[in-house]
Amino acid sequence: MNTMAETRGRETGDGGGNAVLDAARIIFTKTGALLPLFVIMAIYFSVASEHFLSGRNMSTIATQSVYFTLVVIAQAIVMITGGFDLSVGAALALTSITTSSVIVAVPGAGGIVLATGAGMLTGASVGAANGLLISQFRVSPLIVTLGMASVVSGLALIITGGVPIFNLPQLFKETLYTGDLAGVPVPWLVVLLVVGIAYIALYWHRLGRNWYAVGGNPVSAHIAGVPVKRALFLAYLSAGVLVGIAGVMLTARVGSGEPNLGGTFALQSIAAAVLGGISLRGGQGSLWGAILGAIFLVLLQNGLDLVGVSSYLQMIITGALLVFAVIVDHYWHKG
Amino acid sequence: MPESGRRRQQLMDTILDVSGVRKRFPGVTALADAHLMVRAGEVHALVGENGAGKSTLVGVICGAVQPDTGRMRFLGEDYHPRSPQEAYQSGIRVVFQHLSLIPNLSVTDNLFLGREMAGALGFIRRRDMGVRARTLLEELGFAHIPASARVDTLSTSQKYLVEVAKAMLERPKLIILDEPTAALNAAETSVLFDLVASLKDAGSGVIWITHRLEELYQITDQVTVMRDGRFVESRPTASLERDEIIRLMTGRQIADSEAPDPAHIGSENRLVISDLHTAGGLKGLSMAVRAGEVVGLGGLAGSGVEEIGRALYGLHPVTRGEIELLGRPFRPRDLRPHRLARQGIFYLPGDRQSEGIVDVRPVSENATLSSLDALGRMGFLHRLNERRTVADYVQRLRVSTPSAAQPIKLLSGGNQQKVLFARGMLTEPQLFILEEPTQGVDVGSKADIYAVTRELAEAGAAVIVISTDTRELLTVCHRIIAISQGRMSREFTQGEADEEQLVSAYFGSQDSREAV
Ligand SMILES: Nc1ncnc2c1ncn2[C@@H]1O[C@H](COP(=O)(O)OP(=O)(O)OP(=O)(O)O)[C@@H](O)[C@H]1O
Ligand SMILES: [Mg+2]
């Protein structure tokens, strides 16, 4: 460790005070502009509304966060590879439709299992289609996923004729929404499991390394022997599966198959990821940042609801936040 | 230098005076106490080990880096540029280590980027710009670069010369060249020497940063040595011996690299190519490399030598010929990096910045990117193991970095190169294809890399070194193949050739003077 120690020695020789600044910088680069925003927001809402910090509200927030977090993790994975996915909302809707169709057709517990499988398969198919087009034909992710969003939404509307699928069995809701295992709500368990797997894939497996490398510099990655096409395909496929899971869970919660589910998810998930420090230029940002970003947006919406801000104004706020986050991202990752 | 010349130089006034500059980055003190004094009409060498702070000092002079403390005077006035634009307006030009051209624009467009010639109503005068670009390239001796070509169709060295031309749009008062010859071959280097000589005659100051110490005696008047971000010494070049410069730079003795021992060359062929043709330069190259053998490839720009590595690694189209790698025949379409890497072939690209490093990722991830399979089972990574291995290589190759978690883009150029070399070693390949393996690497580390290359060969690997540095080829190779017009023009075994003979073989003739 000869040379490392030398450099460090040089630095400490120049006096202290630097360590705190360095630590602050690391926190900022890891989570973007999120931490200060978090603090400001938490203080503001807890003063403005007495309900905000109540245990009940916190538990609501936790449950609400589940679905959104799943989608943000999906978004973060493809963003790390240097792309993004505008079709997550549409995929969510189509998943909801296939899930409910299967569950209506096949009664009983077997139906729930089948429906869950069908929902995940739907998400996976959309992701695979995205991945195939982006990796094999080198079409830009913007065009592919924007087109895909339109195709998939259209499919959902054709299947249902625009009418939601009602009368889902109560058992579905009781298992995947209100159900619990040893006191822990099922939605929480699902998200914990997903976070665990995503963590391992991103940081303890070759796959994640390849994703980061491809996002950082696809040419260098290719030359270093990274199977770039496969990595890209797997990123979109994984994102699709995660969206599928979110779609099934969300259907259980709303209790019907909704062709219009997830309308604003694409934009919001990108906003959350960028706020959490996932760079739009790829190769940078962490899973934890993305999760924090997701929780932040859910908290914000919850707080704004509590203090009575209209949903129209909330749209403006989310949009403005996205632009703000992108600007911050630009300055922080400029190097 | 004649007596009158020396006196003239003493009379010339200082144009740039930098003193006591300090700059700290998180975790690193890049400059602790830097001084530099450059006179008009002087070629001033700035030397030091990788990470000594040379490029950072350049950044400070050209307004790209804001120093923490320090004073600068330029042309007799206080000078503290807050942006590169300000430095540009003062008449300072920099040609950076990293290329800054826009690949999908033409040479002309790049030359005039941001300073387009505009007529009435702001319309750009394309024709005038084209003419000006052509004359400029001709004047500078770069006539072989077509002004209308897109930059991404040029070779690395041509791109660099365009970068130089860009700085020469008007005569600079001070021009800084950061490792200009790292990617240039002998002929291009001599063109650049001529250019520098003419700038000097015109009274411009030139700062010349290099790790090729022989260049100091060829064109520089004064040498400033830096070490660990500090000024060490500044003296007329003629008064300093090569060994002394090295000692001032490194504080240690660097032994001459040993010649490779041919006793370890095996009988088995690791690479056999016959009648290789590529889209572009190669027109029927045949050669073979055996296990344990280090083979050098050299040639002029455009001779096809720069396509050999790329063609073998599937990055440049092969149009005809047979290729056998590690004893197996390969069809051109089977030459794909992912596949070749898995079979035990490592390719080190000549363009470090855009094809080598993943700039935003840490040193450690850059080092292990090609050997992730070996780091654990079924793709799962043994990260503790990884950390130990990387630390080991960081030490062995003397990579100067605050930690292995540092994003590689924050390392100095030479240190980035060492990390890429470590990436290759970590894959334990049977065949190395190295393009400019020591570009930007300091003398001490060069010796380290040569020693490691010899060890690799002795352990049974076949090594191909493709280099514009003739000394490098003469130092590390068992055999050197000179390429001219797409084929082998001559082959030299260890100790058979000197630099002059080698260059003359590049020209495809027996007498270099005649050809130059
Ligand atoms: N933006 C930055 N952030 C952090 N560290 C930096 C930054 N820029 C440079 N450094 C560090 O400062 C030191 C000096 O770097 P510099 O690029 O000036 O070296 P150099 O003398 O040009 O080396 P080389 O010969 O390899 O080009 C190095 O240790 C480098 O890692
Ligand atoms: Mg440098």
pLDDT digits 0-9 by tens, B408-440: 999 998 999 999 999 999 999 999 999 999 988
pLDDT over threshold 60, residue A3: no
pLDDT over threshold 90, residue B100: no
Contact B13, B38 (CB under 8 A): no
The answer as to whether A45 is a domain residue is: no
Q: Which residues contact A9 (CB under 8 A, 6 or more apart)?
A: none
Q: Which of A18, A207, A226 sits opposite B379 (nearest CB)?
A: A207
Mean pLDDT of chain B: 89
Q: How far is CA A301 from CA A268, A328, B384, in A?
A: 11, 21, 41
Name which residue sits closest to atom 24 of ligand 1, judged by CA.
Answer: B50
Helices (H), B140-252: 156-167, 186-201, 214-219, 242-250
Across A211-234, average pLDDT: 97
pLDDT over threshold 70, residue B135: yes
Task: Using DSSP bridges, classify how beta strands B328-330 and B318-325 pair: parallel, antiparallel or unpaired.
Answer: antiparallel
Q: Which domain holds residue A98?
A: 57-262
Q: Cβ-count burial of A55 within 10 angstroms (0-12 exposed, 13-18 middle, 19+ buried)?
A: exposed
Check B27 against A22: CB less than 8 A apart. yes
User: Chain B: nearest CA to A206, how far in angstroms?
Assistant: 5
Check A4 against B354: CB less than 8 A apart. no
The confidence score (pLDDT) of residue B497 equals 86
Check B407 against A335: CB less than 8 A apart. yes
Q: State percent of chain B over pLDDT 90.
A: 62
Q: State percent of chain B over pLDDT 70.
A: 96
pLDDT over threshold 80, residue B509: no
Q: How far is CA A286 from CA A76, A167, A191, A291, in A?
A: 8, 40, 17, 9
Alpha-carbon distance of B496 to B305, in angstroms, equals: 21
Alpha-carbon distance of B421 to B439, in angstroms, equals: 11
The confidence score (pLDDT) of residue A85 equals 96
pLDDT over threshold 80, residue A18: no
Q: Which residue of B has its CA nearest to A20?
A: B26
Check A206 against B365: CB less than 8 A apart. no
The confidence score (pLDDT) of residue B284 equals 93
Q: How far is CA A187 from CA A9, B415, B416, in A?
A: 50, 48, 46
The number of C-alpha atoms within 13 Å of B349 and in the hemisphere containing its C-beta is 24
Domains of chain B: 1-91+172-185+202-253 (3.40.50.300), 101-170 (no CATH), 263-344+429-515 (3.40.50.300), 352-424 (no CATH)
Across A19-43, average pLDDT: 68
In this structure, of B5-19, B112-126, B473-487, the range with the lowest mean pLDDT score is B5-19
pLDDT over threshold 70, residue B148: yes
Q: Residue B513's pLDDT band (boundaries 50, 70, 90)?
A: very low
The confidence score (pLDDT) of residue A29 equals 57
Contacts B381 to A, Cβ<8 Å: 204-206, 209
The answer as to whether A51 is a domain residue is: no
Using a 6 Å cutoff on CB, does residue B415 contact ligand 1?
yes
pLDDT over threshold 80, residue B8: no
Q: How far is CA B235 from CA B197, B210, B244, B405, B505, in A?
A: 20, 16, 12, 38, 37
In this structure, of A18-32, A37-51, B202-216, B334-348, the range with the lowest mean pLDDT score is A18-32
Helix/strand/coil percentages in chain A, nearest 5: 75, 0, 20
The confidence score (pLDDT) of residue A1 equals 34
The confidence score (pLDDT) of residue B270 equals 95
Q: State percent of chain A over pLDDT 70.
A: 89
Task: Using DSSP bridges, classify how beta strands B92-95 and B174-178 pair: parallel, antiparallel or unpaired.
Answer: parallel
Helix/strand/coil for A195 = helix
Q: For an interface test with B, give the residue of A1, A2, A8, A10 to mutate (most B CBs within 10 A).
A: A10
Q: Which residue of B has its CA nearest to A283?
A: B360
Convert the pLDDT of each residue in A69-121 to its tens digit: 999 999 999 999 999 999 999 999 999 999 999 999 988 888 899 999 999 99
Using a 6 Å cutoff on CB, does residue B220 contact ligand 1?
no
Alpha-carbon distance of B456 to B344, in angstroms, equals: 13
- Which residues are paired to B226 by β-bridges? B231
Name which residue sits closest to atom 29 of ligand 1, judged by CA.
Answer: B51
The confidence score (pLDDT) of residue B187 equals 80
Top-confidence range, A135-139, B345-349, B490-494: B345-349
The alpha carbon of B97 and the centre of ligand 1 are apart by a number of angstroms equal to 12
DSSP string, B385-444: HHHHHHHHHHHHTT---S-TTSBGGGS-HHHHHHHHHHHHHHT--SEEEEESTTTT--HH
Ligand with minimal distance to B411 CA: 1
pLDDT over threshold 60, residue B12: no
pLDDT over threshold 80, residue B82: yes
Report yes or no for ipTM above 0.95.
no
Across B443-457, average pLDDT: 89
Using a 6 Å cutoff on CB, does residue B304 contact ligand 1?
no
pLDDT over threshold 60, residue B151: yes
Check A206 against B369: CB less than 8 A apart. no
Element (H, E) at B91: none
The alpha carbon of B401 and the centre of ligand 1 are apart by a number of angstroms equal to 9
Using a 6 Å cutoff on CB, does residue B445 contact ligand 1?
no
Q: Which residues contact B331 (CB under 8 A, 6 or more apart)?
A: none
Q: How far is CA A116 from CA A111, A112, A125, A189, in A?
A: 8, 6, 14, 16
Helices (H), B62-201: 84-89, 107-111, 126-139, 156-167, 186-201
Is the Cα torsion angle B365, B368, B372, B375 positive or negative in sign?
negative
Q: Which bin fits B62, alpha (ψ -120 to 50), beta or left (φ > 0)?
A: alpha
Q: Which residues contact A309 (CB under 8 A, 6 or more apart)?
A: A317
Alpha-carbon distance of A47 to B92, in angstroms, equals: 56
pLDDT over threshold 70, residue B512: no
φ, ψ (nearest 5 deg) of residue B268: -85, 135
The alpha carbon of A85 and the centre of ligand 2 are apart by a number of angstroms equal to 39
pLDDT over threshold 90, residue B7: no
Residue that has been written with the tokens 């990796």 in this structure: A135
Residue that has been written with the tokens 């992108």 in this structure: A326
In this structure, of A42-46, A118-122, A244-248, B389-393, the range with the lowest mean pLDDT score is A42-46
Contacts A200 to B, Cβ<8 Å: 380
Residue B49 CA: which ligand 1 atom is closest?
25
Contact A246, A92 (CB under 8 A): yes
The alpha carbon of B97 and the centre of ligand 2 are apart by a number of angstroms equal to 7
The answer as to whether A192 is a domain residue is: yes
Across B23-42, average pLDDT: 93
φ, ψ (nearest 5 deg) of residue A162: 85, 0
Nearest to B61 by CA among B17, B29, B105, B26: B17
Across B2-17, average pLDDT: 62
Task: Give the E-state strand segments of B237-317 in sequence order.
Answer: 269-278, 283-290, 294-299
pLDDT over threshold 50, residue B335: yes
pTM reported for the whole predicted model: 0.89
Nearest to B477 by CA among B218, B293, B312: B293
Across B360-375, average pLDDT: 95
Cα angle B505, B508, B511; round to 5: 65
Q: Which of A4, A200, A216 sits opposite B361 (nearest CB)?
A: A216
Contact A65, A294 (CB under 8 A): yes
In this structure, of A111-115, A330-334, B36-40, the range with the lowest mean pLDDT score is A330-334
Check B342 against A206: CB less than 8 A apart. no
The answer as to whether A168 is a domain residue is: yes
- Which residues are paired to B288 by β-bridges? B272
Q: Which residue out of B25, B47, B400, B403 has the highest number of ligand 1 atoms within 8 Å of its CB and is therefore the one to mutate?
A: B25
Kindly state the DSSP code that residue B27 receives in the 8-state scheme.
Answer: T
The confidence score (pLDDT) of residue A325 equals 79
Using a 6 Å cutoff on CB, does residue B54 contact ligand 1?
yes
Convert the pLDDT of each residue in B255-266 to its tens digit: 777 778 888 888
The protein residues having their C-beta less than 5 angstroms from ligand 2 (an ion) are B 55, 412-413
The answer as to whether A290 is a domain residue is: no
Q: Which of A1, A204, A219 sits opposite B355 (nearest CB)?
A: A219
Neighbouring C-beta atoms of residue B81, cutoff 10 Å: 21
The confidence score (pLDDT) of residue A332 equals 66
pLDDT over threshold 60, residue A13: no
Is the Cα torsion angle A11, A13, A19, A20 positive or negative in sign?
negative
Mean pLDDT of chain A: 87
Measured torsion, CA atoms of residues B311, B314, B316, B320, in degrees rounded to the nearest 10: 60
pLDDT over threshold 60, residue A65: yes
Q: Give chain A's contact residues with B (Cβ, < 8 Å).
A: 1-4, 6-8, 10-11, 13-14, 18, 21-22, 25, 200, 203-207, 209-210, 212-213, 216-217, 219-228, 279, 283-284, 333, 335
Kindly state the DSSP code that residue A260 receives in the 8-state scheme.
Answer: T
Q: Which residue of B has its CA nearest to A12?
A: B27
Q: How far is CA B329 from the centre of its chain?
A: 33
pLDDT over threshold 50, residue A6: no
The confidence score (pLDDT) of residue B329 equals 94
The confidence score (pLDDT) of residue A41 equals 85
User: Chain B: nearest CA to A308, how far in angstroms?
Assistant: 42
The confidence score (pLDDT) of residue A333 equals 63
The number of C-alpha atoms within 13 Å of B409 and in the hemisphere containing its C-beta is 13
Q: Cβ-count burial of B77 within 10 angstroms (0-12 exposed, 13-18 middle, 19+ buried)?
A: exposed
Contact B70, B18 (CB under 8 A): yes
The answer as to whether A86 is a domain residue is: yes
Check A4 against B395: CB less than 8 A apart. yes
pLDDT over threshold 90, residue A122: yes
The count of domains in chain A is: 1
Residue B226 CA: which ligand 1 atom is closest?
21
Task: Using DSSP bridges, classify how beta strands A184-185 and B14-25 pair: parallel, antiparallel or unpaired.
Answer: unpaired
Across B381-394, average pLDDT: 94
The answer as to whether A130 is a domain residue is: yes
The alpha carbon of B28 and the centre of ligand 2 are apart by a number of angstroms equal to 15
**Residue with more model confidence, B110 or B126:** B110
Contacts B51 to A, Cβ<8 Å: 7
Q: Which of B24, B355, B407 sits opposite A223 (nearest CB)?
A: B355
The alpha carbon of B67 and the centre of ligand 1 are apart by a number of angstroms equal to 14
Using a 6 Å cutoff on CB, does residue B411 contact ligand 1?
yes
The answer as to whether A185 is a domain residue is: yes
